[in-house]
Structure 1
Amino acid sequence: MLVGREKELGDLRDRLSRIESRGCGVGLVGEAGVGKSALQAAVVADARARGFTVLTARGSEAETHLPFASLHQVLRPVLARSATLPARQRDALLSGFGMSEVTSPDPFLIALAVLELVVDAARQAPVLMSLDDLHWMDEPSVDVAAFVARRVESERVMVLASVRAGSASFTDDPSMEWMTVAGLDASAASALVDEHAPDLTPALRERVLRAAQGNPLALQEFPVAMRSGRFGWTELSDELPMTTRLERAFVSRVAHLPAATRTLLMVAALDDGTDLAEMLAAASIVAGATVGLEASQPAFDEGLLISDGAVTHFRHPLVRSALWHTTPLARRQAGHAALASVLSGPHPDRATWHRASSITSADERIAAELEQAARNAFRRGALVSAVSWLRRAAALSPDQSARGARLLDAAEIAFELGRFSQVEQIRRQVAGMALRPRDQSRLAWLEGVFDDGCSGESAEVRRLSRLAEQALHTSDPDLAMQLLVGAARRVWWSDPGADVRQEIVRMAQQVPLPEDDPRLLAVCALAESNERGSFVIGQLADWPSDAHGRPEAAGLLGIAAFCTGDFARAVEFLSTPVDALRAQGRLSLLAEALAIRAWAAIYLGGFELARTADEAMRLADETGQTLWAATARIAIAAIGAIRGSHGPDAELLTAAERVAVRTPIATSSLLAGVQFARGLAELGAARYEQAYGQLRRVFDPEDPAFQRAQQVWTLSYLAEAAVHTGRQDEGRALLVAIERVAGSDPSPAARIALEYSRAVLADDTTAEVLFQQALDGGGRRLPWHRARAELAYGSWLRRHRRLVESRTMLRAARDAFDTLGARAWAERADQELRATGEKGWLPTVGPGDLLSPQEAQIAELAAQGLSNREIAQRLYLSHRTIGSHLYRIFPKLGITSRAQLRAALASGTAPPGETARSNRTAPSASPSRRPTRSRARPDQMQSDDASQPDVPVSPPVKRPGPRPKPYLPESL
């Protein structure tokens, strides 16, 4: 019976009661001893009584360096189910536990495997995942727990974690609801003292209550310590932190125990395992005599150790901490050495860690062993643990250059994990060391790597070029090109000037590579997209879209195509790495490829494909890539503007702007994208004055939003705003300037922009010829660009009273915009048609209007014949979550089976009753809205069978309401 915790326990039990309708993640935060574990234990007992499957783990300070140690605890009851997982997930998970020979499994595959096991268990009974002392768990396990907690809202799963106040564990994760556990009130504290120490004198009782300050553990332990007479009041005074006072209270129990027991407890405090036989063997080595099982009994009697027969651990983490702090360094080292000796056979990596902890001076042999252990952790997919092992290896390296190399290895792995602060910390640590030339270049590459060098100044870019030159002179062309690609990326995000751009390209051309090498093309396109565009596009034409089966090369070619304005090829090239990276589970690079491809699709007018920016945003947030998350957010806002939302989501664009300006040199490419999205929204709403003001910034070299390539692609939209605001002369001056930038052989994107702008800005004597050229030019096969030209031409014809001809153009434009889902533009075309006397049109509602981006992606994959589980693997969700999405999708599309999906998506129209709606704002389903789940037919709703015909469709097809706010992703 918990004293004084009725409210907290009631809240947690309420969440258990609502698990059928909503999964959740709840975290308990409080100081040591405040009762978090007791609350968890009560919830665990209640969950078991309700028939839950309970998966538990408790963190241990000594085990924080052991990869997936806590995860193995959690999964022990359901690990046998791993045989039913898809092969890649199963192999990755077992490799993490050292039970498979698969090397370097992706951490996200491991996390997805855990999610599938938990969700699969929830099909039979609700699941409670209880994670006690999360702050002492190994980081790979914590990362997996965070991954799962973000995806259980639509599952019968509750994640319950406890974290000590001030911990850096994922307490800022919005997917978790954090409850502060405070000390007991005066009444409950008095009741607890009276229950555990009824014989206290009034004076002693008052002192205990005052010193404990409502901390339940202190209320139980202080009376024992005080009655022992081993501690004075000053040592338990309020001036000391509560953890220190509690540690001293526990130490008071140890001092009077037999010597053999004290040695055993000391070894147990150092051990990273829970095997009592292992502890006794190591204690015997330290004592120089056999320490038998009888030596452990006093520790159990005193309540310091507890055991269930298989696992032995301390009653409370503070017991371990107290023993560690009170043990002299020399004796701790002896304990670690003994444990290393005991573990050297069965657990070599653990033995290495203890051996390293047994010394304080540098030792290359042990440093090399730690480095090998780091490689072992890396092969198992425990990248976070590999970083810790490498940093420890560096600390024990006698040679400074070797120390720097190991730290840089750790930093590069931390970069893969998206750990910005960790990379920066290591980089500062290495900065003053004497490094080998190659390591100096690696260090330079790490500087600014998280933002792709968007904050790089010209001096920094030149330094990268010089380091590339050094690498070239030492016959290391691969490192040279890695540095030059990094330098060119910096140039793209923030232009340092023509001299620097030219220097990068000259250096790249000195590297002995073929002219069509993807790295060389990427450097030329990033650094001099306008000047070298014709050369790059010519070389790209000789490459197949899959780059001969080389995903990395295809990715670089896609970047080269995008930067030079060859967006059709960019989409083709980037689709290859998107598929490969998705299959490999390399989510960091997948987010980047999806974001770039989404923008290429936006500039082409392929808005359905561009909606994968939503996935790019979620993955970039998941992997900690703020730059690509911002890029995706702007893309989502731009799509919303085109689809007719009256003003792009302010939160999305504000968040992107914060990323853009966080560095000394603002990221001009991101800011240009923000202005483009805002300008589109204003154009769609026919607020032309505001549109001109937003778009004009992209063309001003003195404005932070100026971007050399993006101004070319933005020109046609600015020209449209200029015409409607009477700024034709300003528009024509900019047109002339962009013609000079684009050159005599403009890129496909530049050609479309120039042809449209020349037509709308022309005087009446030349306009008609130029409009025809625009219709027959670079955008003739692209519905979005052709429709924009038709709208402009039709409006021009109407103004010149050629009504019959104008109707043909305006009708074609309206229908094309309607099909594309560009609602605002369709309505503008319809207004022009109404001005000619033609009326009677109502907009259609297509699948893209009714489904959220994620729902549309799931529907498309299901229409291709993929099962729920196959879709889940692609999107890193659980297969039951896919089923829940389909539950929502079917009634929105007016269908009842998977067999109807393909036709419904291809029809481009909504189910009956939707087209006549009065609200013309295109609706979008919010992923945050949950279906009412029916437990009556779970097999149908969550089927893994691709041919499963039916999903229960009990809710009626409803008329769409106003567009909700765009989907905001889960974040780390």
Structure 2
Amino acid sequence: MSATFGQHLVGRDQELGFLFGHLREVEFRGRAVGLLGEPGVGKSALLDHVLVHAESHGFTVLTARASQAETAFPFAGLHQLLRPLLPSADRLPVNQRDALLACFAMTDSNATNPFFTSLAVLELVVEAARRAPVLLAVDDLHWMDQPSIDVVGFVARRIANERVVLLCTSRPRPLPFADHRTVEWLELAGIDTASSAALLEARAPQLSWSARDRVLRQAHGNPLALLEFATALESGRNAWSDGDEDLPMTTRLERAFAVRVEHLDAPVRAVLAIAAIDDGDSISDLLAAASRLYGSSIGPPMAQPAFDQGLLVPTGDRYRIAHPLIGSALRQSSSLAARREAHAALAEVLGDHPDRATWHRASSMSERDEQVAADLEQAAGRARRRGAVASAAAWLERAAALSPDPASQATRLLSAAELSFQLGRFNEVERIKGQVAQMTLQTRDRSRLLWLEGVFHDGSTGEPAEVRRLVDMAADATASNDSDLAMQLLVGAARRVWWRDPGKILRHQIVLAAERVGVPANDPRLLAIYALAESHEYSQMVFDHLERWISDADVRPELAGLLGIAAFCTGDFPRALTFLSTPIEALRTQGRLSLLAEALAIRAWAEIYLGIFEVARSADEAVRLADETGQSTWAATARIAVAFDHAVRGGHEADHDLLTQAQLVALRTPNASSSLLAGVQLARGVAELGIDHHEQAYRELRRVFDPADPAFQRAQQVWTLSYLADAAVHTGQEAEARTILGSMERLAGASPAAGATIALEYSRAVLAENTSAETLFEGALHGAGRKLPWHRARVELAYGSWLRRHRRVIESRVPLRAARDDFHAVGARTWAARANAELRATGERGWQPSPAPRELLSPQEAQIADLAAQGLSNREIGERLFLSHRTVGSHLYRIFPKMGVTSRSQLAGALTDAGDDSRE
């Protein structure tokens, strides 16, 4: 059914040139390309043409054709695609091999990590690409099962440096991948008029001129329509009316196919009825089920007309429907009762495939049946153990629909909602919650529903009424002695008020409700609630308890993560880094990328507030992972951290695109608006400070301290204070800044954490009257930031500048020189230049900095270099960073000359070399 003359594809020279060009460039870069178009426009024909071309040019071609009947079956599409490479699976690392084979039910292993499955696929494809370039071709991606789509997306995002091209086809709405950057989409329109006429003339030369004109007019350049409408007219069975031109193209094509099927013999129609709902491709299964449906044996000769008519396509002992619209036409033209009979017949012959048989048996039911529902639930459990969480959720919903007992129905729906939450599919969770909310629930299921109400802290509303509702539900859970549920709800409420402050009264209600639950005073959940809701008021209590916890929280990464959040929100940034290291490594090992992105984003900001600008370890990776897992709030949080790092390191302004993207997320996500906007203002203010634009810096930073401004955030304003003070002394705003300083001192209390102490010590010194300034500068130099080069350098610069302004020029050179060297050591180029400018004003000349070698590396290269310097192999690095080992090798190939080394053993020394200063 392709629009071809022999080997020539009519009307697609431009598209073929585009696609062949990507194949030619595969030695230099990998690409992921998608063809978008309505049914029949020629996507599959283009794909097939490219496959033939690739094979003739030495490519290894891996193909999969998805079908609507297979959508519910986990990893069915991936198995098609990867089948030729599976014999090589034994050469994979054990955890990857087990995860991959488990998803195909080819092992007894319980390994269910979807990211290790994806990494295994990437490794197999990249290894195959060592021998010959690889073309991955996926037709009708929109019909592929979701677990397979997820793996294809994972691979697509990681082939830029490999000899791999991914080519897929899809209908345009909705796109299979949420992230539009995963694939470069090419939208196909119909072929032009001349090509349409040429194709029609070649395939139906006997048509009358009137019939020819009618086909051309109705087909609108759709190649399949040109061929099928012509066939219908030639056969005299077109069943068209004058109003057909107003119908959608899909409907007209389905009608044309359906009319063709009506005139076939009953055995052939039985074969086609089974093919329309078959999720497999075995001809023997097809004929066996058709025989049961027909009531008499159907052999290959009786089924042959289905192949002769071009409705089915044979490939050895397997088959496929020639075009998805044929299957759609067959389903649409048959009654519900007839489709149920076909499903029942197919279920009877699939004894060797129990999950498929269960699904078809369920589809054959005309009334609720507990046994079938229970079988579906068991199949969902097997899918989940194989890592196919999306499929498991779909099977549970189907089980719920067949449950005769309303209580069982609700239980299964809630299980589906919980799985959808794990996948981050908030709309699906909301839809199921809406169903369950109307039902009578058992006590445990009421608790599960209440928990689902409180789990969203990324993208959910932060309205006070919604937060208060969570607090009320937690009180009900406490009264029911369900302390775990109560704490889950209250942690969710506290997270919301961190992102946007609902007011003092409601914040305190959350704390009181948490204290009433009765958990131990050192419970990490309680400490996180204190820190999130009232970080300043309860900071000392949180500090006291954090000191008693060991860094890995007794080898419980989930608790260490909560302790890390508690430390961060109270400003105890050193301890936050310590606590977060455990969950980050555990989540990385487990491949739980969504939670890993969150932990990395929080760690990046702890590093920034401490002045540790190795953001490549955290923020850059957090951006990539949060984008990949669809977590817009954490992606925005990490983007602001990257922008701050760039501003410090030498940009004339904070990255406009990064901050604009973060602002857009804040506008779409009211719950996260104040925290994100406060970070944006801080990044912009610091960028302006770095280039001595003090007036603009003050305006940007001042917004964080205004309760009426959307960028106001209670805790973050304290950590922003020192930069505001910096801008104030250069703009004549000292009086206002001192007032703000007083407010921050009262807010931080008598025993503030490291973050607040550093900010307060610096601000007191730079805003002090001349009589007390020197003492306060000396105190700041020996205070909380003394061991942190960034903060020490800022005090040195401010102190040296103060000395110079007071004509103590010779004395000023010592702190200014130290500031310049410290700024240079941490890579803060613009700030080092500021310190050097002050030194030049004292008469000192001749500093010519050389860049530190690691500044030549991209964030991901720096991460790989660090791991290689620690002695990890390429494969170990790839597994940690979710890259192929060959991608790691390619990065190291570029890293070595940048660092001036020739071996891994030299990396550690090169990475610690800050570069030599050349002075007169």
Give the TM-score normalised by the residue count of structure 2: 0.96
Structural RMSD (CA): 1.9
Equivalent residue number for residue 4 of structure 2: none
Equivalent residue number for residue 91 of structure 2: 84
Deviations 1:741-786 (A, max 9, x none): 1111111211111111111111111111111111111111211111
Q: Offset of 1:381 from its aligned partner?
A: 0.7
Q: Offset of 1:459 from its aligned partner?
A: 2.1
Which secondary structure state, in structure 1, belongs to the residue aligned with residue 185 of structure 2? Answer: strand
Equivalent residue number for residue 947 of structure 1: none
Letter in structure 2 aligned against 1:10: G
Q: Does the 8 A contact of 1:666 with 1:704 survive in 2?
A: no
Q: Offset of 1:282 from its aligned partner?
A: 1.8
Equivalent residue number for residue 618 of structure 1: 624
Match among 194, 198, 203 for residue 187 of structure 1: 194
Match among 6, 22, 33 for residue 15 of structure 1: 22
Q: Does the 8 A contact of 2:451 with 2:485 survive in 1?
A: no
Match among 545, 557, 563 for residue 539 of structure 1: 545
Equivalent residue number for residue 488 of structure 1: 494
What is the distance in 2 between the residues matched to 1:743 and 1:871? Answer: 44
Equivalent residue number for residue 764 of structure 2: 758
Equivalent residue number for residue 135 of structure 2: 128
Match among 367, 382, 397 for residue 403 of structure 2: 397
Equivalent residue number for residue 230 of structure 1: 237
Do the aligned partners of residues 231 and 875 (structure 1) sit closer, same or farther apart at CA in structure 2, a change above 3 Å counting? same
Match among 817, 820, 831 for residue 823 of structure 2: 817
Equivalent residue number for residue 939 of structure 1: none
Which secondary structure state, in structure 1, belongs to the residue aligned with residue 771 of structure 2? Answer: coil
Match among 799, 807, 810 for residue 805 of structure 2: 799
User: Structure 1 stretch 462-471 or stretch 614-623: which is displaced more?
Assistant: 462-471
Letter in structure 2 aligned against 1:485: V
Deviations 1:135-164 (A, max 9, x none): 111111111111111111111111111112
Match among 409, 412, 416 for residue 406 of structure 1: 412
What is the distance in 1 between the residues matched to 2:899 and 2:138? Answer: 41
Q: Offset of 1:185 from its aligned partner?
A: 2.0
* Ranges of 4+ aligned residues in structure 1 off by more than 6 Å: none
Equivalent residue number for residue 430 of structure 2: 424
What is the distance in 2 between the residues matched to 1:45 and 1:63? Answer: 26
What is the distance in 2 between the residues matched to 1:524 and 1:806? Answer: 44
User: Structure 1 stretch 558-567 or stretch 680-689: which is displaced more?
Assistant: 680-689
Letter in structure 2 aligned against 1:547: A
Letter in structure 2 aligned against 1:840: G
What is the distance in 2 between the residues matched to 1:773 and 1:176? Answer: 56
Equivalent residue number for residue 374 of structure 2: 368
What is the distance in 1 between the residues matched to 2:756 and 2:102? Answer: 50
Q: Does the 8 A contact of 2:758 with 2:785 survive in 1?
A: yes
Q: Offset of 1:273 from its aligned partner?
A: 0.8
Which secondary structure state, in structure 1, belongs to the residue aligned with residue 246 of structure 2? Answer: coil
Q: Does the 8 A contact of 1:57 with 1:131 survive in 2?
A: yes
Match among 549, 554, 569 for residue 548 of structure 1: 554
Deviations 1:623-651 (A, max 9, x none): 00011001101101111111121111111
What is the distance in 1 between the residues matched to 2:709 and 2:231? Answer: 70
Q: Offset of 1:50 from its aligned partner?
A: 0.6
1:601-616 aligned within 5 A: 601-609=607-615, 611-616=617-622
Asked whether 1:137 is paired with 2:150, we answer no
1:494-505 aligned within 5 A: 494-505=500-511
Equivalent residue number for residue 327 of structure 1: 334
Equivalent residue number for residue 778 of structure 1: 784
Q: Offset of 1:673 from its aligned partner?
A: 0.9
Letter in structure 1 aligned against 2:264: L
Residue ranges of structure 1 left out of the alignment (5+ in a row): 918-972
What is the distance in 2 between the residues matched to 1:813 and 1:874? Answer: 37
Match among 51, 56, 61 for residue 54 of structure 1: 61
Equivalent residue number for residue 888 of structure 2: 882
1:456-467 aligned within 5 A: 456-467=462-473
1:39-50 aligned within 5 A: 39-50=46-57
Asked whether 1:735 is paired with 2:741, we answer yes
Equivalent residue number for residue 956 of structure 1: none
What is the distance in 1 between the residues matched to 2:459 and 2:42? Answer: 47
Question: What is the percent sequence identity of the aligned residues?
Answer: 62
Deviations 1:356-389 (A, max 9, x none): 2112433333222222221111111111111211
Q: Offset of 1:100 from its aligned partner?
A: 2.2
What is the distance in 2 between the residues matched to 1:671 and 1:495? Answer: 13
Which secondary structure state, in structure 2, belongs to the residue aligned with residue 162 of structure 1? Answer: strand
Asked whether 1:564 is paired with 2:570, we answer yes
Equivalent residue number for residue 903 of structure 1: 909
Which secondary structure state, in structure 2, belongs to the residue aligned with residue 542 of structure 1? Answer: coil
Equivalent residue number for residue 342 of structure 1: 349
Do the aligned partners of residues 622 and 780 (structure 1) sit closer, same or farther apart at CA in structure 2, a change above 3 Å counting? same
Do the aligned partners of residues 641 and 664 (structure 1) sit closer, same or farther apart at CA in structure 2, a change above 3 Å counting? closer
What is the distance in 2 between the residues matched to 1:688 and 1:715? Answer: 14
Which secondary structure state, in structure 2, belongs to the residue aligned with residue 572 of structure 1? Answer: helix
Q: Does the 8 A contact of 1:814 with 1:826 survive in 2?
A: yes
Do the aligned partners of residues 454 and 497 (structure 1) sit closer, same or farther apart at CA in structure 2, a change above 3 Å counting? farther
What is the distance in 2 between the residues matched to 1:753 and 1:233? Answer: 78
Q: Offset of 1:831 from its aligned partner?
A: 1.3
Which secondary structure state, in structure 2, belongs to the residue aligned with residue 233 of structure 1? Answer: coil
Q: Does the 8 A contact of 1:597 with 1:610 survive in 2?
A: no
Match among 150, 154, 161 for residue 154 of structure 1: 161
Q: Offset of 1:340 from its aligned partner?
A: 1.8
User: Structure 1 stretch 646-655 or stretch 302-311: which is displaced more?
Assistant: 302-311
Equivalent residue number for residue 266 of structure 1: 273
Q: Offset of 1:450 from its aligned partner?
A: 4.4
Deviations 1:247-268 (A, max 9, x none): 2222233222221221121011
Do the aligned partners of residues 186 and 460 (structure 1) sit closer, same or farther apart at CA in structure 2, a change above 3 Å counting? closer
Do the aligned partners of residues 171 and 46 (structure 1) sit closer, same or farther apart at CA in structure 2, a change above 3 Å counting? farther
Equivalent residue number for residue 927 of structure 1: none
Do the aligned partners of residues 747 and 453 (structure 1) sit closer, same or farther apart at CA in structure 2, a change above 3 Å counting? farther
Q: Does the 8 A contact of 1:95 with 1:103 survive in 2?
A: yes
What is the distance in 2 between the residues matched to 1:219 and 1:662? Answer: 45
Letter in structure 1 aligned against 2:717: Q
Give the TM-score normalised by the residue count of structure 1: 0.91
Q: Does the 8 A contact of 2:139 with 2:169 survive in 1?
A: yes
Q: Offset of 1:422 from its aligned partner?
A: 2.6
Equivalent residue number for residue 726 of structure 1: 732
Equivalent residue number for residue 699 of structure 1: 705
Match among 348, 357, 361 for residue 351 of structure 1: 357
Letter in structure 1 aligned against 2:529: V
Q: Offset of 1:34 from its aligned partner?
A: 1.7
1:309-328 aligned within 5 A: 309-328=316-335
What is the distance in 1 between the residues matched to 2:183 and 2:27? Answer: 18
Match among 281, 288, 301 for residue 281 of structure 1: 288
Letter in structure 2 aligned against 1:463: R
What is the distance in 2 between the residues matched to 1:367 and 1:401? Answer: 13
Equivalent residue number for residue 78 of structure 2: 71
What is the distance in 1 between the residues matched to 2:788 and 2:798? Answer: 16
Do the aligned partners of residues 539 and 448 (structure 1) sit closer, same or farther apart at CA in structure 2, a change above 3 Å counting? closer
1:465-484 aligned within 5 A: 465-484=471-490
Asked whether 1:108 is paired with 2:110, we answer no
User: Structure 1 stretch 294-303 or stretch 73-82: which is displaced more?
Assistant: 294-303
Do the aligned partners of residues 122 and 916 (structure 1) sit closer, same or farther apart at CA in structure 2, a change above 3 Å counting? farther
Which secondary structure state, in structure 1, belongs to the residue aligned with residue 62 of structure 2? Answer: strand
Letter in structure 1 aligned against 2:23: L
What is the distance in 1 between the residues matched to 2:700 and 2:877? Answer: 40
Asked whether 1:36 is paired with 2:16, we answer no
Letter in structure 1 aligned against 2:78: L
Which secondary structure state, in structure 2, belongs to the residue aligned with residue 18 of structure 1? Answer: helix
Match among 663, 677, 683 for residue 677 of structure 1: 683
What is the distance in 2 between the residues matched to 1:699 and 1:177? Answer: 43
Deviations 1:912-960 (A, max 9, x none): xxx789xxxxxxxxxxxxxxxxxxxxxxxxxxxxxxxxxxxxxxxxxxx
What is the distance in 1 between the residues matched to 2:550 and 2:150? Answer: 39
What is the distance in 1 between the residues matched to 2:719 and 2:585? Answer: 27
Equivalent residue number for residue 603 of structure 2: 597
Do the aligned partners of residues 610 and 269 (structure 1) sit closer, same or farther apart at CA in structure 2, a change above 3 Å counting? closer
What is the distance in 1 between the residues matched to 2:450 and 2:809? Answer: 64
Q: Does the 8 A contact of 2:567 with 2:576 survive in 1?
A: yes
Q: Offset of 1:525 from its aligned partner?
A: 0.8
